[in-house]
Amino acid sequence: MNAVPSTLLQQTDQLSGSVTRPIPGSRKIHVEGSRPDLRVAMREIVQTRTPTLFGGEENPPITVYDPSGPYTDPDVTIDLAAGLAPLRARWIEERGDTEALSALTSAFGRGREHDLKLAHVRFPSRTLPRVAKAGANVTQMHYARRGIVTPEMEYVAIRENQRLELVRDALLRQQHPGEAFGAHIQQVITPEFVRDEIARGRAILPNNINHPESEPMIIGRNFLTKINANIGNSAVSSGIAEEVEKLVWSIRWGGDTVMDLSTGKHIHETREWIIRNSPVPIGTVPIYQALEKVDGRAEELTWEIFRDTLIEQAEQGVDYFTIHAGVLLRYVPLTAKRVTGIVSRGGSIMAKWCLAHHRESFLYEHFEDICEIMKAYDVAFSLGDGLRPGCIADANDAAQFGELETLGELTKIAWKHDIQTMIEGPGHVPMQLIKENMDKQLRECGEAPFYTLGPLTTDIAPGYDHITSAIGAAMIGWYGTAMLCYVTPKEHLGLPNREDVRDGIMAYKIAAHAADLAKGHPGAQVRDNALSKARFEFRWQDQFHLGLDPEKAEAFHDETLPKDAHKAAHFCSMCGPNFCSMKITQDVREYAAEHGVDTGDALAAGMAEKSEEFRAQGAEVYRPG
């Protein structure tokens, strides 16, 4: 093991302290599957009893989906320099179709490994990666198509159900019918359904065999809507410790996957620290690093450099690669009259390359060679939308939709190799044009999962683009997008800091949950119902704990009513004690009870009778006299 410089370790020690405090009101639980080493992590929110005034009943704990990993588990000791426990290692080894390498395959990776100048930033506990045995295909899609239900698939099935079977209270179970636009929403997710969806290509389970630390999760429109958080340093700002901090911070607030978009120095080492400490799938855009290797001169990129980069990253454990293989030569001129041209970094790099060489890109020409790499590690494709619109004016244009059609063709090639594939989408799109994006994606790409950035529904709010885009994200999630890539308030302006990351994730957790409610995912409304019941009964702490951000909710409440006594107050600062409508509603019920009508049926009956009397008397708006 390499020696780790004390400064970096101290930094990471500090970080782990600040982001691993327990989430207020919650406890970590694990639901065991068909084998003892299959323990699905969830979060349980404990509720207090209803005040006697309102009935005095017990309120059941509410189970919620939890991507925060071991960081919020008080039973786990976190050691960032050691990395997380490789919970999937045994499952991978058991399959017998992979082998440990004796050296890194990537020339660049080997070079970094032996560079003494990097000792101070290198992850200290690195083990050698695995690779598929000769001729083997180790993707979850390959297993699925052969009818195999892997432990990963079972994990996902248990995880998606969120122990809904334990919720028996009728009030909590009530839910409006959804409108799913043709999605196949299940009442109960079975491991077999997970397998079938992966086999069809309608869902992906991104989990590189070299990222055994990851807790399996699934991306597909027949499952809960997921969100991605982007982190990553740049040449201008931030370092390794800060990025690991952002990773842990992101998943604490609910990020389901994290993309490492680093472009600065130590990109390789930063990625290693992130993956070794990440319980969620990590995505990257390998062309960013490839471009660094040619000092930013896009036209000097080659297939060989790119190939070595893919292998370098696949052997580190990256779970999905954004690959902009759909940027074809003939689409580039279609962007010339756009208001904002090409705004995807990857897209513009490839466009520049195509123009410089007057030929299709090596990504397109070597697409099947890329598939061979993907299947040897089970890296999923995230087919990049390099020509996505960068402003409202450019939405749904010929360049964007041309590329989408090509992504559909590439999806079919990837599927021929049993490579898990999702498709990236826009961007900036006004509301009336959003559904066309979803419909076309489903049609062109055979229902492969859609993974969209926003879309932003207007261009005029720099500083608030988490909101302009949460509107579009909620809508496209409802229409069928499987994963929503977050946008922070700093979009277009600067690099997000911690609070920006939190704001971006919250906006996207809201969008994703609003989409789940609208699609009618079973049990999606349980948490809303529980929180609303708590609100109605003035159970302030339960209301905070059931919310997406308990810490902020409590802090906001305390700004106006800081005293502890007010946590039990039957009013809030909005209206004061005499004007609280919730309190008045309680008075209404009490009044009704005193006068011989009870809540519920009795009240309804009693009032219906009075109402009948009233109508029998004429029911006129203006009675004589």
Give the H or E element holding residue 421: strand 421-425
Give the H or E element holding residue 457: none
The answer to whether 2 is a known ligand-binding residue is no
Strands 130-132 and 98-100: antiparallel
Q: Which of 56, 596, 600, 618 binds its own copies (CB under 8 A)?
A: 600
623 binds its own copies (CB under 8 A): yes
For the CB of residue 127, give the shortest distance to its own copies in the complex, in Å: 32
For the CB of residue 447, give the shortest distance to its own copies in the complex, in Å: 21
Q: Hunting for tokens 């410790």 — which residue is that?
A: 241
The answer to whether 492 is a known ligand-binding residue is yes
The answer to whether 572 is a known ligand-binding residue is yes
Q: Which of 56, 116, 622, 624 binds its own copies (CB under 8 A)?
A: 622
In this structure, what DSSP letter does residue 427 have?
S
For the CB of residue 551, give the shortest distance to its own copies in the complex, in Å: 9
8 A C-beta contact, residue 230 and residue 485 = yes
Closest to its own copies by CB, 128 vs 356, is 356
Q: Which of 9, 46, 76, 467 binds its own copies (CB under 8 A)?
A: 467
334 binds its own copies (CB under 8 A): yes
The answer to whether 21 is a known ligand-binding residue is no
Q: Which of 80, 183, 224, 553 binds its own copies (CB under 8 A)?
A: 553
539 binds its own copies (CB under 8 A): no
Residue of 20, 104, 34, 13 lying closest to 69 (CA atoms) = 20
Give the H or E element holding residue 180: none
Please give the residues from 372 up to 401 whose contact with its own copies meets the rule CB under 8 A: 390-393, 395-396
Closest to its own copies by CB, 570 vs 589, is 589
The answer to whether 357 is a known ligand-binding residue is no
Amino acid (one-letter) located at 93: E
| Integer Cα distance of 125 and 102 in angstroms | 16
347 binds its own copies (CB under 8 A): yes
8 A C-beta contact, residue 510 and residue 475 = no
Stretch that binds its own copies, among 79-87, 126-134, 374-382, 521-529 (CB under 8 A): 521-529
364 binds its own copies (CB under 8 A): yes
If one counts every other C-beta atom within 10 angstroms of the C-beta of residue 131, the result is: 21
Count residues near its own copies (CB under 8 A): 151
Q: Hunting for tokens 């779970």 — which residue is that?
A: 319
Q: Which of 60, 86, 341, 446 binds its own copies (CB under 8 A)?
A: 341
In this structure, what DSSP letter does residue 196 have?
H
| Integer Cα distance of 625 and 621 in angstroms | 12
Amino acid (one-letter) located at 86: P
The answer to whether 485 is a known ligand-binding residue is no
Alpha carbon distances (Å) from 122 to 6, 9, 93, 125, 335:
12, 11, 26, 9, 42
In this structure, what DSSP letter does residue 347 have?
H
Scanning 227-302, the segments in alpha helix (DSSP H) are 240-253, 267-276, 286-293
Q: Which of 413, 440, 444, 570 binds its own copies (CB under 8 A)?
A: 413
497 binds its own copies (CB under 8 A): yes
For the CB of residue 193, give the shortest distance to its own copies in the complex, in Å: 23
Q: Is 566 exposed, middle or buried (0-12, 13-18, 19+ CB in 10 A)?
A: middle
Q: Hunting for tokens 């990851």 — which residue is that?
A: 214
Supply φ then ψ for residue 30, to 5 degrees. -130, 130
The answer to whether 445 is a known ligand-binding residue is no
| Integer Cα distance of 482 and 463 in angstroms | 26
For the CB of residue 210, give the shortest distance to its own copies in the complex, in Å: 26
557 binds its own copies (CB under 8 A): yes
527 binds its own copies (CB under 8 A): yes
The answer to whether 288 is a known ligand-binding residue is yes
The answer to whether 230 is a known ligand-binding residue is yes
525 binds its own copies (CB under 8 A): yes
Residue of 288, 254, 296 lying closest to 271 (CA atoms) = 288
302 binds its own copies (CB under 8 A): no
Please give the residues from 468 up to 487 whose contact with its own copies meets the rule CB under 8 A: 468, 470-471, 474-475, 478
Q: Hunting for tokens 């970096």 — which residue is that?
A: 8
If one counts every other C-beta atom within 10 angstroms of the C-beta of residue 575, the result is: 13
547 binds its own copies (CB under 8 A): yes
For the CB of residue 62, give the shortest distance to its own copies in the complex, in Å: 10
The answer to whether 575 is a known ligand-binding residue is yes
Please give the residues from 93 up to 152 whose contact with its own copies meets the rule CB under 8 A: none
8 A C-beta contact, residue 156 and residue 216 = yes
Residue of 384, 402, 386, 388 lying closest to 444 (CA atoms) = 402
Provide the mask over 245-284, with x wherever binding to its own copies is found by CB under 8 A and - wherever it is not. Answer: ------------------xx--------------------
548 binds its own copies (CB under 8 A): yes
Give the H or E element holding residue 430: none
Closest to its own copies by CB, 134 vs 622, is 622
Residue of 219, 172, 222 lying closest to 62 (CA atoms) = 172
614 binds its own copies (CB under 8 A): yes
For the CB of residue 240, give the shortest distance to its own copies in the complex, in Å: 17
Closest to its own copies by CB, 223 vs 478, is 478
For the CB of residue 486, give the shortest distance to its own copies in the complex, in Å: 12
349 binds its own copies (CB under 8 A): yes
340 binds its own copies (CB under 8 A): yes
Return the bridge partners of 28, or none.
Answer: 43
**Token pair in block for residue 578:** 């005499």
The answer to whether 295 is a known ligand-binding residue is no
The answer to whether 137 is a known ligand-binding residue is no
The answer to whether 344 is a known ligand-binding residue is yes
544 binds its own copies (CB under 8 A): yes
| Integer Cα distance of 526 and 164 in angstroms | 9
CA-derived radius of gyration, the chain: 26
| Integer Cα distance of 278 and 263 in angstroms | 19
591 binds its own copies (CB under 8 A): yes
Provide the mask over 205-244, with x wherever binding to its own copies is found by CB under 8 A and - wherever it is not. Answer: -----------------------------xxxx-------
Task: Give the residue ranges of the annotated binding site for substrate.
Answer: 230, 259, 288, 324, 344-346, 385-388, 424, 451
Task: Give the residue ranges of the annotated binding site for Zn(2+).
Answer: 428, 492
Task: Give the residue ranges of the annotated binding site.
Answer: 230, 259, 288, 324, 344-346, 385-388, 424, 428, 451, 492, 572, 575, 580
